[in-house]
Structure 1
Amino acid sequence: MGTPNSRKKVSLRDIAKEVGLSVSAVSLAMRNSSKVSPERRKEVLDTAERLGYKKDGRIVELMEHLRTKRDDRLISKVAVLVPEIKQEELKRFPFIRRILDGLEEQAEESGYGLDVIYLEDLKASPKRLKGILTARGIKGVIAVPWVSGVGSLKLDLEELCVATAGYSIIEPMLNRACTNYLQMMDELIEQACRLGYKRIGFIMTYTRGGIGHKLFASSFLFYSMLIEESQRIPILPRRDICEGKVKEWMDTYKPDVVISSEMVRGMLADLGYDMPKDLGFASIDIAEGPDYVSGVDHRHELVGREALKLAVADVNLNKTGLPENPKVVTVDSHYHSGETLRRVGEPIDIKIRSAVHNEAGE
């Protein structure tokens, strides 16, 4: 009896013989083509699974490319939908600009063009937007985040392959590429502890209820559980961010380092804090501020690249509409040392990411 590794590899020809179709018809069915009836497609897919057929992803991608006319290969485009802001406002939102840069770089490498559509400039209904995409022959779509927090994408997704960047679009559930927010806050807190900071404060600038808000808060609250109660500082919520309440919070809890956004850093500077001399500061997104600020790099460009890969993969496999099992690709952040944090004492042994450490073989 042969071992699993010695068994003959199942081919499309084997499946065709089993279901009584031509190899080309089986190939169409495997690509979810509408040229094959839904019943026949299901029969082919069920048979392929039963026989243990495995696709070679590299061959699938190559064949999809070769099936396309040469002229079409040069002009195939992916639409990028930018909600809430007009094109002229883009410079105010560096994280959106960086996502677009990543999308553009990956599109060029993948042989696609981008059709960037600013929805506030277009002022089109969902029905008209779908008509525009159809008229332009666009199948792949990337939706970039809402700048104000969370939102929804109102668009008929039939015959479209849609992915999004970030957690902002919560409805419908799409394939998405995101920064690893939990790792990001863990890393900032651990870095502050390594530098000897003992009283870490967090001013939350993310919209309540969003994934970023929840993950940042989860990490900080977990850290608070690991330290003495006397050292715990409550999170200052977004609704209380104004100069008066920030000053009151600083005077009451006396943090020696603050984790927050560029807006809050400016507010602290206006209150007279010299960073890092008087106070350490770590930014939750260095894309917002000057290079000398310490903090984390969300790697927005890489998020954009991964989002485009998700959409293009579905285009190649003709997987349109809402994904049955939405995927989330997380991108690791990078710590940027900057100049607004400094060593203030002996390292504090707080390891949030390895509170419980197991080793293989134990």
Structure 2
Amino acid sequence: MDDVAAIAGVHSTTVSMALRAHPSIAENTRRRIIEIAAQIGYVRDPLLDAFNYHRLQKLAVKQPPSIAFVIDAASSAYFFGSGYHPLVYEGVRAVATAQHLTLEVFALGTRDMTANRLNTILTSRGINGVLLSTFTPTTKSIALDWSQFSAVKIESHHLLPELDVVSNDQCQAARLCMRHLRELGYRRIGLATATDDESRLERTFSSGFLVEQAEHPEDERVPPLFFERGHIGTIAGRVEAWIKEHQVDALMTNWHELIAINDWDGTSTRLTSTSLRVPQDVAFASLDVPSGCPHIGGIVQNHRLVGVRAMEQLAIMVRTFRKGAPENPSSTSVPGFWREGGTVPPKAVLAKR
């Protein structure tokens, strides 16, 4: 090999690579080296080739797949007091660590992070997996070159393109909540939530509520209240008027801002900016019980498990090279469970107070 290198005026490593048709060696150089080797009768040693191949396979360093966890810069207001994003990210990170995946977080929607810039960053860094975590309804679509990425959405049913999605089972949460409230003796049960929450979650809260309500006597059916996002005092005023108009005895909502969480005195608190006492005037059942509030009863949603399931699904897609928007997107729903709390005692207990 050294003789071939000397005649060709190149390094012996170049000769070795040329004889193995390595793409980094120019075609003209490769042909010249092959001709010189043939002229002087040089023949590659097959045993040495086999040894080198085995050694390189053992020593090869494989770059672990990289995943982008993309959040909406404007979505923090949607999860006041719930710690939603940290819990989802905790689940995502746990799977990434266990499967040796690198993970980077990007907040899309800031002045410095547009979809075009994000696309450029992901491509240049070799990131081939994207998790889209809970975008507000104002973001209708994200213009990335999706043919280059494997992708899964967390919540964000409205967001285009249509991708596989993993979310909490909000329909099951509403149905389970209503069943437990009726078991506790409540009959005038009402649902209050924001119109954009309904849009973002594909109306799963209201569909579960209405399905359960249809099984009950007509005189016990309360029309759901959908309000626009705004000042909490204004929203609370609407909720108070609706409660009084329809004689609601138990309120179901995913809005923790509607209750004075920190004013719980062991037996009661109030709806925010109102004179209504909880639970004496109206019981309060959360559709997404916040952590660290044992006095609030309702549905505990497993946000961490949503993150785990989404990351597991994306990891499989990345490793099997499934890229782009699927023809038939899948939807995975993670159920929640009921938890007792002081804000929703049995109605018979309230009657004795």
Task: Verify same fold: TM over 0.5.
Answer: yes
Question: Match of 2:185?
Answer: 196
Residue aligned with 1:187, SS: helix
Question: Match of 1:274?
Answer: 277
Within 2, Cα distance between the matches of 1:98 and 1:297? 13
Q: 1:30-41 residue pairs with structure 2 within 5 A? A: none
Question: Match of 1:185?
Answer: 174
Structure 1 residue 92: Cα displacement:
6.6
Within 1, Cα distance between the matches of 2:107 and 2:316? 24
Structure 1 residue 169: Cα displacement:
4.5
Question: Match of 1:29?
Answer: none
Within 2, Cα distance between the matches of 1:243 and 1:86? 21
Letter in 2 for 1:314: M
Structure 1 residue 189: Cα displacement:
0.2
Residue 264 of structure 1, aligned match among 258, 263, 268? 258
Within 2, Cα distance between the matches of 1:147 and 1:85? 7
Residue 225 of structure 2, aligned match among 222, 227, 236? 236
Structure 1 residue 135: Cα displacement:
1.3
Structure 1 residue 122: Cα displacement:
6.6
Within 1, Cα distance between the matches of 2:240 and 2:200? 28
8 Å contact 2:250–2:283 — kept in the other structure?
Answer: yes
Q: Does 1:344 align with 2:347?
A: yes
Residue aligned with 1:188, SS: helix
Question: Match of 1:72?
Answer: 63
Structure 1 residue 342: Cα displacement:
0.8
In 2 relative to 1, CA 221–130 (structure 1 residues): closer, same or farther, beyond 3 Å? same
Q: 1:122-161 residue pairs with structure 2 within 5 A? A: 123-147=112-136, 151-161=140-150
8 Å contact 1:201–1:258 — kept in the other structure?
Answer: yes
Question: Match of 1:42?
Answer: none
Structure 1 residue 247: Cα displacement:
2.3
Letter in 1 for 2:140: G
Seq. identity, %: 23
Residue aligned with 2:88, SS: helix
Structure 1 residue 158: Cα displacement:
1.8
Residue 162 of structure 2, aligned match among 153, 170, 173? 173
8 Å contact 2:88–2:307 — kept in the other structure?
Answer: yes
Residue aligned with 1:170, SS: coil
TM-score by length of 1: 0.69
Question: Match of 1:19?
Answer: none
Within 1, Cα distance between the matches of 2:175 and 2:116? 43
Q: Once structures 1 and 2 are overlaid, which stretch shifts more, 251-260 or 182-191?
A: 251-260
Q: How many residues align?
A: 279
Within 2, Cα distance between the matches of 1:268 and 1:219? 24
Structure 1 residue 136: Cα displacement:
1.1
Question: Highest Rg: 1 or 2?
Answer: 2
8 Å contact 2:190–2:248 — kept in the other structure?
Answer: yes
Letter in 1 for 2:251: V
Within 2, Cα distance between the matches of 1:68 and 1:273? 70
Q: 1:105-124 residue pairs with structure 2 within 5 A? A: 105-121=94-110, 123-124=112-113
In 2 relative to 1, CA 341–242 (structure 1 residues): closer, same or farther, beyond 3 Å? same
Letter in 2 for 1:242: I
Task: Name structure 2 gaps, 5 residues minimum.
Answer: 1-56, 261-269
Within 1, Cα distance between the matches of 2:184 and 2:173? 17
Within 2, Cα distance between the matches of 1:72 and 1:253? 61
Structure 1 residue 217: Cα displacement:
1.1
Structure 1 residue 331: Cα displacement:
0.8
TM-score by length of 2: 0.71
Residue aligned with 2:317, SS: helix
Task: Name structure 1 gaps, 5 residues minimum.
Answer: 1-65, 347-362
Within 2, Cα distance between the matches of 1:258 and 1:211? 21
Question: Match of 2:303?
Answer: 300
Within 2, Cα distance between the matches of 1:109 and 1:206? 38
8 Å contact 2:252–2:284 — kept in the other structure?
Answer: yes
Structure 1 residue 70: Cα displacement:
3.8
8 Å contact 1:91–1:97 — kept in the other structure?
Answer: no
8 Å contact 1:188–1:295 — kept in the other structure?
Answer: yes
In 2 relative to 1, CA 77–93 (structure 1 residues): closer, same or farther, beyond 3 Å? farther
Within 2, Cα distance between the matches of 1:310 and 1:299? 17
8 Å contact 1:176–1:310 — kept in the other structure?
Answer: no
Q: Does 1:326 align with 2:329?
A: yes
Letter in 2 for 1:330: S
8 Å contact 1:86–1:118 — kept in the other structure?
Answer: no
Within 1, Cα distance between the matches of 2:82 and 2:175? 25
8 Å contact 1:262–1:288 — kept in the other structure?
Answer: no
Letter in 2 for 1:270: S
Q: Does 1:249 align with 2:238?
A: no
Within 2, Cα distance between the matches of 1:310 and 1:149? 27
8 Å contact 1:178–1:330 — kept in the other structure?
Answer: yes
In 2 relative to 1, CA 300–249 (structure 1 residues): closer, same or farther, beyond 3 Å? same
Within 2, Cα distance between the matches of 1:258 and 1:90? 19
Q: Once structures 1 and 2 are overlaid, which stretch shifts more, 293-302 or 93-102?
A: 93-102
Structure 1 residues 86-121: Cα deviation after superposition (integer angstroms, max 9, x where no partner): 99x998762122111111111111111210011244
Within 2, Cα distance between the matches of 1:192 and 1:90? 24
8 Å contact 2:299–2:339 — kept in the other structure?
Answer: yes
Structure 1 residue 265: Cα displacement:
2.4
Within 1, Cα distance between the matches of 2:310 and 2:198? 23
Letter in 1 for 2:239: V
In 2 relative to 1, CA 81–252 (structure 1 residues): closer, same or farther, beyond 3 Å? same
Question: Match of 2:40?
Answer: none
